[in-house]
Chain A
Amino acid sequence: MNTEFLSTAVAPLVYIASTMLFVFGLKGMTKVKSARRGNHLAAAGMFLAVVGALLELGLVDYRWIAIGLIVGAVVGAFLAIRVQMTEMPEMVALLNGFGGAASALVALSVVWNDVVEKDAAETMAHTLRGGAADAVTIALSILIGSITLTGSVVAMLKLKGKLKKGQPILLPGRHGINLVLGLGAIGLTAYAGFVATGAEGVTLATLGLTGVALLLGVLLVIPIGGADMPVVVSLLNSYSGVAASMAGFVVGNPLLIVAGATVGAAGLILTQIMCVAMNRSLLNVLVGGFGATDGGGGAGDQVMEYHNVRSCGAEEAAMVLEAAESVIIVPGYGLAVAQAQHTVRELASELEKRGARVTYAIHPVAGRMPGHMNVLLAEADVPHEQLIEMDLINSEFKNTDAVIVVGANDVVNPVANKDPGSPIYGMPILNAHEAKSVFVIKRSLGAGYAGIKNELFEMPNTMMIYGDAKKVLQDLVREVKDL
């Protein structure tokens, strides 16, 4: 078959099939039952897209493409297999950064190929096939892709608890700096496309734009607290879609435009849904500083002023739990850190054997990502039906004998309902404090991500059990068995 036919007639049809698979795939991923199949459909769409692209290229030299594909496939598979379930959020952030970087590099490669290496004497808008439109979309690819790269890397580090333990980093005059950089990026976009001439001028202008965009990515994310990182990653995910779409304009590929725009919009909607779950506005998240303490110190380590806090040992707690008819477990990030998902399930099974009804209350933003706890507990074979979302379980707490809070903090802080001055005021919480007795397993009285005191710990029905979540849970299992 001649390659002309494959490239002009077959490839576009393959692209259309690919587009449909992406849309069906995304749709499938919004429902629990069809989610896995949806992901497979999207992956099949991607495979078709690659086949279509190779057909469209026809007979070219494939060595560079092959090198890129092999290296990428090996590294990608290695990362995906090796990553721990608890590190998923960081992984998504990192992969997203790579996607953004790839889009920026596509645009840079076109600049080099069409302008710098041709040693064109004119401006980009003059030299490029698509004229002014190409000059603008190239700049946008570089800009959005680079912001996505550094923003995602910062988000990943914050999720890992690096960079001042994920606390907001507030530079003096940061809004001014960002404004200047933003204006600078716009200016450089115009300069690179329409003013700079010759290989040297264009090189300097595009590299300058890249540098400003990389810096902007860092500065936009560092003032945002670690607790808000899921929203940031979701927004950056939307950006990387838009960056891919812009790259589609640059290389003139409709599939790239369609898939990029779809992901860009879907990411934006998902970001909005996540903000609603935390009762925050997107603007409020992006302005940042949420949870920053006045002294600017790392609040995670700070011990707050607490009064009348009672603590107990595993044995005492086991006695209460053993007698409880209904138990709700509230998991949080501490559960993930301690890798205690299997132990918590073991405890639940022991309590169930003794006639208790055990359920898990899942706060929409428990952990570092929405759905983080579901993934973690599913790994430990906790039945899906036992995981109950906040809205459904909140009325149950007052009829519950015992609540075990494992490594969660801000999501059970009653202050969110009461004190309009609190930074988390208005955030929906799990009403754990309404239960007859509450056990909080925690390393210390240190603050959570929001960096504020938790009133739950002072309540008369609350008992603290200090220690590593896994260790404490193991003790509880042993004590319950011994009773």
Chain B
Amino acid sequence: MTMGPLLIGLYIFVLASFVGFEVINKVPPTLHTPLMSGANAISGITIIGAFATATTADVSVSNIIGAASVALATINVIGGFMVTDRMLKMFGKKK
């Protein structure tokens, strides 16, 4: 059996969705916002897709759009993880 890249992609899409469903089964309300924020930072993974769109030195529309998507994804990643950490740091402070 041979599988094209699309089919393999669909397989991992479906299986990864199950992982996502299973990983989050019970969450205390306290953690809803930080978890949302952390998951949001992970969705900044699109940053590595953005890299692939701006790999030449040309000043072209595609490269400018690519650089913009790198920038936006980086904001999502850096901002997301830092904000999540700031929130979670609060919970660690109990004496």
Binding site for B on A (CB under 8 A): 22-23, 25-27, 29-32, 35-36, 38-40, 42-43, 45-46, 49-50, 52-54, 57, 60-61, 63-65, 67-69, 71-73, 75-77, 79-81, 83, 85, 88-89, 91-92, 95-96, 98-99, 101-103, 105-106, 108-110, 112-113, 116-117, 130, 133, 230, 233-234, 237, 240-241, 243-245, 247-270, 273-274, 277, 362, 364, 369-372, 374-375, 378-379, 381, 383-385, 387, 389
Partner of A270, one of B14, B35, B63: B35
A481 to B23, CA, bound (A): 49
A65 touches B55 (CB 8 A): yes
A243 to B42, CA, bound (A): 12
A249 to B18, CA, bound (A): 18
B50 touches A105 (CB 8 A): yes
On whether A72 and B72 interact (CB within 8 A), knowing A29-B35, A50-B47, the answer reads yes
Rounded to whole Å, the gap between the CB of B65 and the closest CB of chain A is: 4
Sample (27) of A-B pairs whose CB atoms are under 8 Å apart? A26-B42, A31-B28, A36-B85, A40-B85, A50-B51, A57-B51, A64-B56, A67-B70, A76-B82, A80-B83, A81-B82, A88-B33, A88-B87, A92-B37, A95-B37, A99-B80, A102-B70, A103-B69, A106-B69, A113-B60, A116-B62, A251-B49, A261-B14, A261-B17, A267-B39, A375-B34, A383-B95
The number of chain B residues touching the other chain, given as a range, is 35 or more
On whether A262 and B68 interact (CB within 8 A), knowing A46-B45, A80-B86, the answer reads no
B23 touches A244 (CB 8 A): no
A91 to B66, CA, bound (A): 24
Rounded to whole Å, the gap between the CB of A278 and the closest CB of chain B is: 11
A26 to B36, CA, bound (A): 10
B27 touches A265 (CB 8 A): no
On whether A270 and B82 interact (CB within 8 A), knowing A257-B16, A371-B31, the answer reads no
A262 to B38, CA, bound (A): 12
Rounded to whole Å, the gap between the CB of A389 and the closest CB of chain B is: 6
Rounded to whole Å, the gap between the CB of B57 and the closest CB of chain A is: 4
Best-buried of A96, A243, A266 by chain B (most CB within 10 Å): A266
Partner of A99, one of B56, B70, B73, B86: B73
Partner of A95, one of B33, B52, B61, B79: B79
B36 touches A43 (CB 8 A): no
Partner of B32, one of A26, A257, A268, A370: A370
Best-buried of A89, A273, A387 by chain B (most CB within 10 Å): A273
Q: A65-B67, A106-B50 are in contact. List 14 more A-B contacts (CB 8 A).
A: A64-B54, A65-B70, A92-B36, A105-B68, A105-B69, A116-B62, A237-B39, A250-B49, A262-B23, A270-B24, A270-B32, A374-B90, A379-B90, A383-B95
A30 touches B75 (CB 8 A): no
A92 touches B55 (CB 8 A): no
Which residues of chain B are within 8 angstroms of A240 by Cβ–Cβ distance?
Answer: 40, 43
Interface SS of B by simple majority: helix
A88 touches B37 (CB 8 A): yes
A80 to B27, CA, bound (A): 24
Binding site for A on B (CB under 8 A): 5-6, 8-9, 12-14, 16-21, 23-57, 60-95
B5 touches A109 (CB 8 A): no
Closest 10 CB pairs of A and B: A72-B74, A68-B70, A265-B20, A76-B78, A378-B90, A370-B32, A105-B69, A80-B82, A113-B62, A53-B48
B84 touches A112 (CB 8 A): no
On whether A370 and B33 interact (CB within 8 A), knowing A64-B70, A81-B82, A117-B61, the answer reads yes
Closest B residue, CB atoms, query A373: B30
B45 touches A49 (CB 8 A): yes
Which residues of chain B are within 8 angstroms of A113 by Cβ–Cβ distance?
Answer: 53, 60, 62-63, 66
A248 touches B49 (CB 8 A): yes
Interface SS of A by simple majority: helix
A248 to B83, CA, bound (A): 25
Which residues of chain A are within 8 angstroms of B40 by Cβ–Cβ distance?
Answer: 92, 95-96, 99, 237, 240, 263
A201 to B46, CA, bound (A): 27
A253 touches B49 (CB 8 A): yes
Closest B residue, CB atoms, query A364: B29
A50 to B49, CA, bound (A): 10
Which residues of chain B are within 8 angstroms of A83 by Cβ–Cβ distance?
Answer: 83
B21 touches A265 (CB 8 A): yes
Which residues of chain A are within 8 angstroms of B50 by Cβ–Cβ distance?
Answer: 68, 102, 105-106, 109
B63 touches A269 (CB 8 A): no
B17 touches A95 (CB 8 A): no
A64 touches B63 (CB 8 A): yes
On whether A109 and B36 interact (CB within 8 A), knowing A30-B27, A32-B91, A263-B42, the answer reads no
A109 touches B46 (CB 8 A): no
Rounded to whole Å, the gap between the CB of B80 and the closest CB of chain A is: 5
Which residues of chain B are within 8 angstroms of A43 by Cβ–Cβ distance?
Answer: 41, 81, 85
Rounded to whole Å, the gap between the CB of A107 and the closest CB of chain B is: 9
Which residues of chain A are within 8 angstroms of B77 by Cβ–Cβ distance?
Answer: 46, 72, 76
Which residues of chain B are within 8 angstroms of A81 by Cβ–Cβ distance?
Answer: 82
